[in-house]
Amino acid sequence: MSTVAASLLLSSLLPLSPVSMASAKGAPQSNQFWWPDQLDLSPLRHDAGSNPLGADFDYAKEFKTLDLKAVKKDINDLLTTSQEWWPADYGNYGPFFIRMAWHGAGTYRMGDGRGGADGGQQRFEPLNSWPDNASLDKARRLLWPVKKKYGCKISWGDLMVLTGNVALENMGVKTYGFAGGRADDWQPDLVYWGPETKWLADKRYSGDRKLDNPLAAVQMGLIYVNPEGPNGNPDPMAAAKDIRDTFGRMAMNDEETVALIAGGHTF
């Protein structure tokens, strides 16, 4: 086979080869990039898919043995048990826990299905250090007594979402209920969160503010939009465009977006 023929054959096969979204849009930044002095513990893991609960651990089976009413009661009691080291605003941690739950779920994007509450990734870098997630480590610390009590019967991913539900119910909101099944991850997921190399930068836009796919958030380190407006510019029309684009990429329509923004900021 000639060199030209071989090249043509190879070219014809390339579109069929799997190409990751990250490589198509730029490689995701590793945690070592953001924290160069961080100790790399990955060599200690024999298998990327391993977890400390063992290969035979079945989370769905464990979850079925959980007394969900008891867990909800413990969370409900926790809401109004203010701690000296991080006092509850107005005697109730409800709004704080709702923010934690939403910021866990709110990283989801339709473009590639990445993000979301599954896996409990909020526990790991870079999400746990995003500017938008400031102080949520305290929310998870407040939940530790509940997690410790029920152990592997409820994952961090499920516990954070359930806590948000209980907080809403505690304040009189009727929820649709709760569905468990979010098995925990045990290491940070390598996700393309954007091309930026600085927190809160927004090099993800091109042309007439066209947001790069598969991204949804407007800036590196934010869950969704800049509350001060695009790049801090308090222009309501420009902000509305960003809001519709970002939340649309998170699988939310206008009505759901209004309910989230208006309802989520009434505390």
Residues with a known catalytic role: 103
Q: What is the largest CA-CA distance in the chain?
A: 78
CA distances from 181 to 1, 128, 144, 202 (A): 54, 22, 19, 34
What span, in angstroms and rounded, lies between the C-alpha atoms of 9 and 13?
6
Instruction: Report yes or no: 218 and 246 within 8 Å, Cβ to Cβ.
Output: yes
| Torsion sign (Cα): 5, 6, 8, 12 | positive
What six digits make up the tokens of 3? 């060199």
Torsion of CA 110, 111, 115, 119, to 10 degrees: 80
Q: What are the backbone dihedrals phi and psi of residue 205, each rounded to the nearest 5 degrees, phi first? A: -105, 150
